[in-house]
């Protein structure tokens, strides 16, 4: 993960944990450089290319969030994962800033 994307994701997680202490958010450390032995072990354990960076668990549902830099774009595997989870009835968002992430939280988690 590039440094700017890392900083955005850390800010989003910190915001979420402060604003929604009774809900759950976790990261899926699916990227990064690994040697072939470690990569094979992770794949055997269920690592899947394209999985979203963050998963929010709230009120019997999951919300998937892919973090990107302001100019970042999804990979083909990420688009494929998005289509799959949406077909299963889950929400999926791509956030390029903490402001976008905060808007998702407001839209999906704040009682109207």
Mean pLDDT over residues 73-99, rounded? 97
- Flag whether the pTM goes above 0.85: yes
DSSP 50: T
Q: What is the pLDDT of residue 18?
A: 96
Asked if pLDDT for residue 23 goes beyond 80, the answer is yes
Asked if pLDDT for residue 108 goes beyond 70, the answer is yes
Tokens read off for 6? 């890392």
Residue 106's SS3 state is helix
DSSP 54: E
Asked if pLDDT for residue 32 goes beyond 70, the answer is no
Q: Which residue has the higher pLDDT, 2 or 23?
A: 23
């Amino acid at each position: 993960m590039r440094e700017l994307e890392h900083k955005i994701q850390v800010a989003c997680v910190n915001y979420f944990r402060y604003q929604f202490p009774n809900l759950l958010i976790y990261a899926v450390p699916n990227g990064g450089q690994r040697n072939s032995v470690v990569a094979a072990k992770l794949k055997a354990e269920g690592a899947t290319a394209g999985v979203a960076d963050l998963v929010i668990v709230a009120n019997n549902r999951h919300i998937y969030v892919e973090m990107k830099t302001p100019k970042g774009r999804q990979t083909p595997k990420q688009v494929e994962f998005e289509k799959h989870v949406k077909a299963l009835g889950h929400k999926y968002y791509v956030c390029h800033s903490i402001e976008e992430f905060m808007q998702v939280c407001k839209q999906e988690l704040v009682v109207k």
